[in-house]
Chains A and B, each alone.
Chain A
Amino acid sequence: MTDETVDVLIIGSGHSGGMAAKCLTEKGISCLMLNAGPVADARRDTEPKPAYALPFRGFKQPGRLEHVFQSNEFNANTWVDEQEVPYTCDPQQPYNWVRVRLFGGRSLFWSRQSFRLSDYELKGKSHDGFGDDWPISLSDLAPYYSRVEAIFRVRGHADGLPQYPDGNFVPDNSSWTGCMQRFVDAGKKMGVPVCKPRSSEGVDGLASSVNLLLPDAFATGKLRAIPNVVVRELRVDPKTGLVSEAHFVDRLSRREMSVKARVVVLAAGTLESTRLLLNSKIGNSSGVMGHYLIDQVYGPGIVCSVPEARDGRATPELMGGAALIPRFRNLDTKAKNFIRGYALNVFSSAHPMDPRNFAAYGAELQKKLDSYSGSGFSTGIMGEVLAHYEHQVSIDKNVVDAWNIPVLHIDTKYTDNEFNMARDAVDTSIELAEAAGFEVLSKNYDPNPPGYSIHELGTCRMGDDPKTSVLNKWNQSHDIKNLVVVDGSCFVSGGWQNPTMTILSLAMRASEHLAEQMRQGNV
């Protein structure tokens, strides 16, 4: 039997775990990474198939992955199965918890939108009085954002807007297509900035932990990794008060095992990290753990048609491209019925239109589809969700997963602030589209259920006061100094921005601080 004590145990292999592994191993620190799921090999595990050859003809398998709107019959096997790892919530307050346990986690599948938070988010309370400021500001994070943007090869255009901080971009100096230019011009007249989107190009089309972070870590010879092990509990040495051991179960055989570690870096994803800490009953002297669950509002938006592109007249000069409208509400003025703000994703499509945009069927519908094909233009909200103490997760003692690990109960909902924001986003979209001369075909004011954005954040928030926060500004547990939580659970507020760049930058910052603390012998 081995009696090894590993230097750093990293739980999780996604963006945050991958970044921790890269930073720590490059400082010469040995790491062991545990991941709850298997290693995927797209060459081995996939095959192009027509929908008719699938058991349910391309429909989702009934009753499976009901909360994963992103799933379909082609990709169903990539998501965490809701029967295997359940969670509970009030049926009147559904929550879509969208999870991937393949090695690399959700870094394998993400939309690549790459934004910095601004001080409108990091210092939100100072701006409007609601909630709490983060213990750090953009100036603390900016050097790390720059390095992360270089690794992920973020394409973008510097716009000089304080609410849309510029970064270390692969320059995007492309010109607008005709329809986008009309939308930009409509925005100018209304004081709404329409900017270029910002997106991680990655390498060979992939921008993931598995190709941008973990290879560097393995190349040091300092990283070992075990797939298919589900961590059940972290244990604290009562003599030292330090976390000293992780107890896990082999996913396939159900063999129970444990490993000793000098330091634990938790990177299992916001809610899995919090679930593990709550099940372990550690790190929560503040009582704040599990509280302040946030995400982002997705779903509301509009679909339009550009009349000049109909009947086969769509050209690459007129149609195609994307834009991003960064937050423009509640910066220098006040919206009447909500605080904070939202961004709008803007897309133009040269593809056939979705038939749902026409109240017609049969030959009449086909005629519409033929005429409108290639003329599509759409907007969609990414809206800030306010952090409330009562929006929380806790352990449901009556339900366990397939490994007998108690599951999470998720208790959250959107409030008037989110609903009013969503309404404003749709009405503003319509106003802009009509000013640009587009025909609005369909609109939706209703947010998708919380969680849908796959941007769950908070529940182990950082702060300077151990009485009101779980982690310090270095993502280190206030209670247990050799426990560092590097994923999205540390967020104090979420803003409208896809959080990936921020999670990566925080993980880089926390890991390098940890390495220095270890070098000095403080951890």
Chain B
Amino acid sequence: MAASVSAKTMLGQQTVTPPPPQAAPPVAPSAPPPVATAPGPVPWMRGLREVKPLPITPLVPDAVAQTSAHFFTDRQLATLRQLSEIMLPPLKGYPGAIDAGAPEFLDFLIGVSPVDRQQMYQSGLDRLDAEARQRFGMPFAGIQASQADELLRPWLRTWMTDHPPAEPFAHFVNLVHSDIRTATINSEAWSKAETAMGREEPDVGLYWFPVDPDIHREEPGREASAPVRHPAPKKQHA
């Protein structure tokens, strides 16, 4: 037997049912494009176009799993948990920030955020804890709500979108409040509570998938593997 097998022969072998004989086309293509094939007798994509979508509603991990917090120190996270409990407790059948896993989610979010946001959070949490120890002789995580109010209320401000207070500590207090609320109201737990009350989910929006994403797109901090790029000196966007 000959050692080599032509591609045409291989394709023929992988056809499950030979095509019925038919009249020759008027002009035979000289080099038909190769068809994607499996290394076996059955074509890879066979049957997929006919299958109905699976009847599943995808589960988000928050429904069953806890976020592993690892960015903040234990003391910072304890402060953030206490802050979350105070700023958004369970109210009127809605979950509180703790039930929604907001502190752990923020540990994740801030952990992957730009350094200035990380530092704003870290120094803000540290200051709250230090003030609690100084004034009440115990960590922020252990003080009463009324004591926490003494530390927080002087820094509460009203502010408009994109213009949080400029003073650093007021900036932290008002932004962390906003973030705790967003992480809670955008949680699955909150959505379930809405549904249980017969309300439409308020946080459903029109999500845009990437539209023809650039196959050579560089992720921040990762080099592209563009095959036809001309090397050029680059510097980061200022």
Interface of B is mostly: loop
| A355 within 8 A of partner (CB) | yes
User: A398 touching B233 by the CB < 8 A rule?
Assistant: yes
4 additional A-B residue pairs with CB within 8 Å, beyond A52-B191, A53-B60, A357-B158? A62-B117, A64-B220, A73-B207, A251-B214
Interface contact A299-B162, CB-CB below 8 Å: yes
A362 to B237, alpha carbons, bound, how many Å?
40
Q: Which residues of A contact B234 (CB under 8 A)?
A: 399-400
Q: Is the Cβ of A399 less than 8 Å from the Cβ of B206? A: no
Q: Does A437 contact B (CB under 8 A)?
A: no
A130 at the interface (CB under 8 A from B): no
Q: How many residues of A contact B (CB 8 A)?
A: 72
Closest to A254 in B: B228
Given A50-B201, A254-B229, CB of A62 within 8 Å of CB of B109: yes
Whether B158 pairs with A78 at a CB distance below 8 angstroms is no
* Chain A residues proximal to chain B, CB less than 8 Å: 37-38, 40, 42, 45-54, 56-59, 62-64, 66, 69, 72-78, 81-84, 86-91, 102, 228, 251-255, 299, 301, 303, 354-363, 366, 398-400, 402, 404, 441-444, 446, 448
The answer to whether A47 and B212 touch (CB under 8 A), given A52-B62, A356-B159, A402-B218, is: no
- 6 CB < 8 A contacts A-B: A37-B211, A47-B207, A50-B204, A252-B212, A301-B160, A444-B160
Interface of A (DSSP majority class): loop
Which residue of chain A has the shortest Cβ distance to B109 in the bound complex? Answer: A59
CA distance A69 to B114 in the complex (A): 16
- Check B181 for interface membership: any CB of A closer than 8 A: yes
Contact A54–B207 (Cβ < 8 Å): yes
Within 8 A of A (CB), among B213-238: 213-220, 224, 226-230, 232-238
Given A46-B209, A57-B183: A63 and B238 within 8 A (CB)?
no
How many Cβ-Cβ contacts under 8 Å join chain A to chain B? 179
Contact A84 B214 (CB under 8 A): yes
In the bound assembly, the distance between CA atoms of A443 and B228 in angstroms comes to 52
Minimum Cβ distance to chain A for residue B91 (Å): 5
| CB closest chain-B residue, reference A101 | B211
Q: Is B131 interfacial (CB 8 A cutoff)? A: no
- Identify which of B163, B174, B217 contacts A444 (C-beta below 8 A): B163
Asked whether, in the complex, the Cβ of A52 is within 8 Å of the Cβ of B177, the reply is no
**With contact pairs A45-B209, A77-B210, A363-B89 given, residues A402 and B217 touching in the complex (Cβ less than 8 Å):** yes
Q: Is the CB of A77 within 8 A of B160?
A: no
- Asked if A74 and B207 make an inter-chain contact with CB atoms under 8 angstroms apart, the answer reads yes
Q: Complex Cα distance A301/B226, Å?
A: 46
Do A91 and B238 touch across chains, with their CB atoms under 8 A apart? yes
| CA of A97 to CA of B179, assembled, Å | 26
Closest to A364 in B: B149
A362–B88 touching, CB < 8 Å: yes
Decide if A52 touches B233 in the complex (CB within 8 Å). no
